[in-house]
C-alpha cells in the first residue's frame, strides 16, 4: 500500500493539478451573453459601482470571495518553507471554505518577508475580496500585520492560526469543564507555547472567565516569569513564580494547553496534574504527548489533540468557514470579539446536543451538517448586536437560506 505521502502526491496531481478551479456562474452560450458578460454590457455595473461602491456586493463576486493569504513563514508544522511551498495548504484552505460554507476563496502566496511591505500589498488588493484570511505567518510579525490590516480596511481580516485555534480550544474547554464539574474562574491553566496560537488561546480563555493570575505560560526557555527579559507579548503573561520549568509549573494544574512541539509533556507531568486533568496537546503532526500515553497513566483524563486520527480534534475548520459565512452575509466590517465568542458558545452547544457528547466527543465532527445551520446565525446576530453588521438578517429566513446551502453542498 502506498504511504500517506505517496497518496497525497497522487491526489494533488491526478487529472487537473491542484485542488481548485474558477467556475463561470452566468450563461455565456451566445453573442448576446458575451456582450453582457464583457464589453459593452459590463460598463453598466462598472459605472454603478463607481457611483456607489456598496453595489460591488450586488454586481460582482466580492461578497462571497475570501482571500487566503500567506508569506510561507510558518506553514503547518513545516516552518518557514516559503510562499510557493505553502501553496498546497492555501489551496486546501480554499477547499474547506467551499466545502463547509459555500464560500469562494482564492489563495495568494506573497513572496514578501518585510511585514510593512506585506501589509501594503494585501491592503492594495482589498477591492477584490469580501474578506481576508491570513494564514501561516510567523509570530510576532503576524500580530502586527493583522492589527495594521484591521485598522486600514473595512472588510474582515482574520488570522486563523491565532483566532481559529482559540475558538475551538474555547469550545472544547467549556465542554471539558462541564463534564468535570469545574468552575472556570478557579482552574489553573498551564500553556506550553508562546506563539501566535498560544497568545490568542490565552486571550480567549480570559474572555471565557479564566483568571489571569491562574494562567502560567512556558516558552522554549521555561516558565515566563517576571525575572526574565521578555518581549512585550510574552511579558504580558509573566508571573512572579519560583517555578522555572514546565515540569514544575504543571503540578496540580487542571488544564494543560500545548501549542508548542512534540514530546514536551511527560507521563509523569500528567500524573502530577489535578484529578481528571484536561490535556489539550495540540502540536501537529506530533503532539506534546500522544493521547494513548496520557490515558495509559491517567485513564480519566480528558484529552484533545490536533490530529485527525484521534478523538476531539481541535481543528480550525470547525469555525473559520462559518465565521466568514456570517460576516459576508451580514456585511460585517470586522470579525470582532463578540462574534468569536458567539462562535465558541454555538460550537460548544452543538457538541453538547449530540448523543455522543462525552469525554470522547468534546467538539463536533468536521462533517457535522449542524455547524452550517447553528453557527453563522449566532455569529451574525452577535455582529448586529455589536454594531459591526451592515445588514440585519431575519433569523428564520437566514436559517432557511443556510439549510438550502447545506443541501446544495451535500449533493
* Residue 226, phi then psi, degrees to nearest 5: -70, -10
> Do 298 and 222 fall within a single domain?
yes
| Structural contact between residues 207 and 382, judged by C-beta atoms closer than 8 angstroms | no
Residues 178 and 144 in one domain: no
Q: Does residue 254 have a known ligand-binding role?
A: no
pLDDT of residue 139: 84
Say if residue 230 is in the same domain as residue 115. no
**CATH, residue 73:** 3.40.50.10380
Residue 219, CA atoms < 13 Å, CB-side half-sphere: 17
Is there a single domain that holds both residue 153 and residue 170?
no
Same domain, 167 and 150: no
CA angle 182, 184, 187 (to 5 degrees): 75
Q: Is residue 161 annotated as involved in ligand binding?
A: yes
Query: What is the reported pLDDT for 281?
Result: 98
Query: Is 286 found in the same domain as 243?
Result: yes
Q: Same structural domain for residues 333 and 195?
A: yes
Cell matching residue 391: 445588514
Q: Which of 127, 142, 161 is the last residue of a domain?
A: 161
Q: Are residues 239 and 332 in the same domain?
A: yes
Measured in degrees and rounded to the nearest 5, phi and psi for residue 50 equal -60, -40
CATH number of the domain within which 256 lies: 3.40.50.720
Q: Is 296 annotated as a binding residue?
A: no
CA 269/CA 250 separation, integer angstroms = 7
Could you say which of 118, 133, 161 is where a domain stops?
161
Q: What are the residue ranges of helices labelled H in 209-357? A: 232-235, 246-249, 267-271, 291-297, 320-330, 337-352
Residues 28 and 143 in one domain: yes
Q: Please, what are the averages of pLDDT over each run of 10 residues along the chain (411 residues)?
A: 90 94 94 96 97 96 98 90 97 97 97 98 97 94 95 96 94 98 98 93 97 98 96 94 97 97 97 98 94 98 95 96 98 97 98 97 95 97 97 95 94 71
How many CB atoms sit inside 10 A of residue 102's CB?
Answer: 17
If asked whether residues 147 and 263 sit together in one domain, one would say no
Count of CB atoms within 10 A of residue 364's CB?
Answer: 26
Which pLDDT belongs to residue 76?
83
Whole-model pTM? 0.94
Q: What pLDDT is stored for residue 233 in this prediction?
A: 87
d(CA 341, CA 379): 8
Catalytic residues: 38, 93
Same domain, 270 and 150: no
Total of domains in the chain: 2
Q: Domain end: 127, 161, 195, which one?
A: 161
- Whether 136 has a binding-site annotation, put simply, is yes
Name 384's Cβ contacts closer than 8 Å, sequence gap at least 6: 330, 392, 393
- Centroid of chain to Cα 345: 15
Q: Is 284 assigned a ligand-binding role in the annotation?
A: yes
Domain region containing 127 = 4-161
What's the grid cell of residue 381?
A: 446576530
- Candidates 219, 231, 203, 64; CA nearest to 131 is 64
Residues 82 and 190 in one domain: no
The grid coordinates listed for 57 are 456586493
Amino acid at each position: 500500500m502506498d504511504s500517506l505521502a505517496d497518496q497525497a502526491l497522487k491526489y494533488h496531481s491526478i487529472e487537473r493539478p491542484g485542488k481548485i478551479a474558477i467556475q463561470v456562474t452566468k450563461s455565456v452560450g451566445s453573442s448576446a451573453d458575451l456582450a453582457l458578460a464583457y464589453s459593452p454590457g459590463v460598463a453598466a455595473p462598472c459605472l454603478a459601482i463607481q457611483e456607489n461602491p456598496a453595489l460591488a456586493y450586488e454586481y460582482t463576486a466580492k461578497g462571497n470571495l475570501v482571500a487566503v493569504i500567506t508569506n510561507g513563514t510558518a506553514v503547518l508544522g513545516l516552518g518557514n518553507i516559503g510562499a510557493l511551498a505553502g501553496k498546497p495548504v492555501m489551496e486546501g484552505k480554499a477547499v474547506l471554505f467551499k466545502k463547509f460554507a459555500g464560500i469562494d476563496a482564492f489563495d495568494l502566496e506573497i513572496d514578501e518577508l518585510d511585514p510593512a511591505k506585506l501589509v501594503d500589498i494585501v491592503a492594495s488588493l482589498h477591492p477584490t475580496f469580501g474578506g481576508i484570511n491570513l494564514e501561516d505567518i510567523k509570530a510576532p510579525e503576524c500580530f502586527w500585520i493583522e492589527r495594521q490590516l484591521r485598522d486600514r480596511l473595512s472588510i474582515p481580516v482574520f488570522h486563523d492560526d491565532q483566532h481559529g485555534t482559540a475558538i475551538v480550544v474555547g469550545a472544547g474547554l467549556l465542554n471539558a469543564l462541564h463534564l468535570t464539574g469545574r468552575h472556570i474562574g478557579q482552574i489553573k491553566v498551564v500553556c506550553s507555547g508562546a506563539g501566535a496560537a498560544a497568545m490568542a488561546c490565552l486571550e480567549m480563555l480570559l474572555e471565557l472567565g479564566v483568571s489571569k493570575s491562574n494562567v502560567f505560560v512556558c516558552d522554549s526557555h521555561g516558565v515566563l516569569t517576571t525575572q526574565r527579559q521578555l518581549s512585550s507579548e510574552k511579558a504580558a503573561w509573566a508571573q512572579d513564580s519560583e517555578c522555572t520549568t514546565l515540569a514544575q509549573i504543571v503540578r496540580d494544574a487542571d488544564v494543560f494547553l500545548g501549542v508548542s512541539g512534540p514530546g514536551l509533556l511527560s507521563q509523569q507531568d500528567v500524573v502530577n496534574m489535578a484529578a481528571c486533568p484536561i490535556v489539550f496537546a495540540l502540536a501537529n503532526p506530533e503532539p506534546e504527548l500522544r493521547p494513548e500515553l496520557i490515558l495509559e497513566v491517567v485513564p480519566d483524563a480528558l484529552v484533545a489533540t490536533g490530529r485527525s486520527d484521534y478523538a476531539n480534534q481541535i481543528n480550525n475548520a470547525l469555525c473559520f468557514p462559518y465565521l466568514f459565512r456570517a460576516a459576508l452575509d451580514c456585511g460585517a466590517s470586522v470579525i470582532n470579539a463578540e462574534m468569536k465568542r458567539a462562535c465558541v458558545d454555538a460550537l460548544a452547544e452543538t457538541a453538547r446536543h449530540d448523543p455522543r457528547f462525552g469525554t470522547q466527543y468534546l467538539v463536533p465532527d468536521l462533517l457535522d451538517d449542524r455547524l452550517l445551520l447553528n453557527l453563522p446565525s449566532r455569529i451574525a446576530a452577535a455582529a448586529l448586536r455589536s454594531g459591526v453588521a451592515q445588514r440585519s438578517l431575519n433569523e428564520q429566513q437566514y436559517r432557511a437560506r443556510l439549510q438550502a446551502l447545506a443541501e446544495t453542498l451535500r449533493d
